Chain A
Amino acid sequence: MRDAFFEELFQIASIDRDVILLMADQGAQTMKKFEEKIPDQLINVGIAEQNMISVAAGLALCGKKVFVHAIANFTTLRCYEQIKVDLSIMNLPVTIAGVGAGFTYGSDGPTHHANQDIAAMRAIPGIRILNASDIVSLSAFPHLAYQIPKLTYIRFDKGNYIALYNKNHNFLDGMYEVVKGTDTVIISTGIMVHQAVKIANQFKSKVGVIDIYQLKPLNEEKLHKLLSSYKKIVVLEEHLSYGGLATIVADMLADYSLNKGFLRIGLPDENIFIYGDRNYMHKQIGISYPQIIKKIDKFLKDK
């Protein structure tokens, strides 16, 4: 999946020589293309995320269009203050591309879990946050970041997921109703959207799915409109339930005084020391497919 991102970025960078990719010792197949064809536009800063962000700021101040890349957890939290001071305060249109959303690196342990990055990055003034749910969205994001320059955090997974979108999909709206339902909607983001679709199908047409791929700024108007046909909301995410997508949606509901049934399904307020594959981890935490079905079934029957 991540090569899709860098393939597109490579295309952009091949045409615009001001596009620079900085990375903190991260490999991706496509990096070789940069090395061979446009070596001046790729800089490996080594395992030094703080310096990577500061260097990005210096380049951006001189007119370069900078993308930086590292593991999501490290390119957000390790250099959080650099993002605040060098990028946000100076309002520089740098794009931070983090691989390893949620439990992408699950079995690598809690140091590698990106389970609070959305909460942290949401607190950066003026940032745009994009979360890819499939290869099509991820391929579109570098173009979006390039065409509408703004401080941006793009987070994504590593594995392969089936396409949810067709190639002509317009991602400017920030979200899409992937499945239309009549009663309850599952709002999700990233690869958990696939889980949401599978679950919604189980409930026939009763349950819909909205994929919010732009978490900030939230397209509140569109979400407001989409929610008008639903009575209940489930937010499903592989991120802390408090601070992530559920909080983003809850903020909007409060601001619009919308009174709807609300269920958070996400990660607990804990560091996770469970080692295994993603399904195993989800099961241990209580967010595996059958466990979610059970939770939603109960939620639908409530009241």
Chain B
Amino acid sequence: MLKFPHLKDAARKIRLNCLKMQHIAYQGHLGGAFSVTEILVALYYCGIINISPKNFNDPKRDRIIFSKGHACLSLYAVLADKGFFPKAELERYGQNGTFLGGHPDHLIPGVEVSSGSLGHGLGIGAGMAIAAKLNDQKYLTYVILGDGECTEGSIWEAIAFAVVQNLNNLIAIVDNNQIAATSKTQKFVGSSLLENKWKSFGWDTLSIDGNNISEIINALKKSKMHSTSKKPLAIIANTIKGKGVFFMEGDPKWHHGVANDTQYEQARKELSK
């Protein structure tokens, strides 16, 4: 397995690529892409989750559903880095004819499902988890959600459903950056803890620092042993929106704010160590 500093560096490079892509295209959601970066690194770079360009058509592979599709800049950077498609494609993001849209579609190599409309991923993941049980396959299904996305009612339909179906092979990872497009998520869902809500629906939960790679790795390792429980597992990954660039951190403006040239330079320097 790769050593820890290496993973931190991978996260830094992914953020830098996101920033560059946004700068070239003059569009894209940086805030959520930055909060979810370490989660993606832990999923794709540590050998815990069984997904690679080589096995992507293997029915036994693990599944990763990127439900918070707007944060796809970091997903694109990761998939290109892992060889799902050529890195040069990242520079074509936002250009005419690119296959990398503003939200990820299932035609992109490495993308399991089309997302961008929030609230769909967990139900789809539940379907995949049921299929695994019916087919007697051991793969796990991971669904990356935003905490803002958890305002959607369909998410709670799926949360209740997964418990009743005993989907212990379904893992939700909530990128809990606590900020939606315009304000703190708390403003429209109240201040009670997200973890408690999942728990009260019957899920096993883990609450971690979602920008701390070692904590995410530990949580993912636990998820691999989770079949001892009957319940699905929610990893509440507490993160910082805009993480990695000081002036973007915790500011809703950077949900889909585009950095001007000065801000770009400043952010680029910060992400270049």
Residues of chain A whose beta carbon lies under 8 Å from any beta carbon of chain B: 20, 40, 43, 45-46, 48, 50-51, 53-64, 81-82, 85-86, 89-90
Q: Please, which residues of chain B bring their CB within 8 A of the CB of A45?
A: 157, 161
> Which of B75-83, B86-94, B113-121, B186-194 lies on the face that meets chain A?
B113-121
**For the complex, what is the distance from the CA of A54 to the CA of B123, rounded to whole Å?**
5
- Tell whether, in the assembled complex, residue A59 and residue B154 are in contact, meaning their CB atoms are under 8 Å apart: no
Interface pick from B38-46, B129-137, B259-267: B129-137
Number of A-B contacts (CB under 8 A): 97
Q: B141 — nearest CB in chain A belongs to which residue?
A: A58
Q: Which residues from chain A contact B112 at a C-beta distance below 8 Å?
A: 61
Write the chain B residue with the least CB distance to A55.
B127
Q: Chain B contacts of A53 at CB under 8 A?
A: 123
Task: Establish whether residues B126 and A46, one from each chain, have CB atoms under 8 Å apart when the complex forms.
Answer: no
CB 8 Å contact bits of B190-231 with A (1 = contact, 0 = none): 000000000000000000000000000000000000000000
12 pairs, CB–CB < 8 Å, chain A vs chain B:
A40-B134, A43-B130, A54-B121, A55-B158, A57-B120, A58-B124, A58-B131, A61-B124, A62-B127, A62-B128, A85-B120, A90-B114
Contacts A61-B112, A85-B117, A89-B114 given; does A51 touch B157 at CB 8 Å: yes
The distance from the CB of A245 to the nearest CB of chain B, in whole angstroms, is 30
Write out the residue numbers on chain A whose beta carbons fall within 8 Å of the beta carbon of B117: 81, 85
- Is A86's CB under 8 angstroms from B120's CB? yes
Q: Tell me, in angstroms, the Cα distance from A276 to B130 when the chains sit together.
A: 43
The answer, among B113, B124, B134, for a CB contact under 8 Å with A64, is B134
Complex Cα–Cα for A85 and B117 (A): 8
Least Cβ–Cβ distance between B39 and chain A, in angstroms: 21
Q: A61-B124, A86-B113 are in contact. List 18 more A-B contacts (CB 8 A).
A: A43-B130, A48-B161, A54-B122, A54-B154, A55-B124, A55-B130, A57-B113, A57-B123, A57-B127, A59-B128, A59-B131, A61-B131, A62-B132, A63-B135, A64-B127, A82-B123, A85-B117, A89-B105
Instruction: Please tell me if the beta carbons of B154 and A50 are within 8 angstroms of each other in the complex.
Output: yes
Does B3 have its Cβ within 8 Å of any Cβ on chain A?
no
CA A126 to CA B131, docked complex, whole Å: 25
Q: How far is the CA of A118 from the CA of B212 in the complex (A)?
A: 51
Decide if B114 touches A85 in the complex (CB within 8 Å): yes
- Is the C-beta of B146 less than 8 angstroms from some C-beta in chain A? no
Q: Given the complex of chains A and B, what is the CA–CA distance between A89 and B266 in angstroms?
A: 39
Shortest 3 CB-CB contacts between residues of A and residues of B: A58-B127, A54-B123, A62-B131
B125 at the interface (CB under 8 A from A): yes
Closest to A51 in B: B157
Q: Does B106 sit at the interface, judged by CB under 8 A?
A: yes
Measured in the bound complex, the distance between the Cα atoms of B161 and A29 in whole Å is: 24
B130 touches A51 (CB 8 A): no
- A86, B126: Cα distance in complex, Å: 13
User: Are B114's CB and A50's CB within 8 A?
Assistant: no
Inter-chain contact B59/A58, CB cutoff 8 Å: no
Q: Is the CB of B154 within 8 A of A51?
A: yes
* Residue B97 CB within 8 A of the other chain: no
Residues of B within 8 A of A82 (CB): 120, 123, 154
Known contacts A86-B120, A90-B106, A90-B113, A59 near B130 by CB under 8 Å: yes
B5 interfacial by beta-carbon distance below 8 Å? no
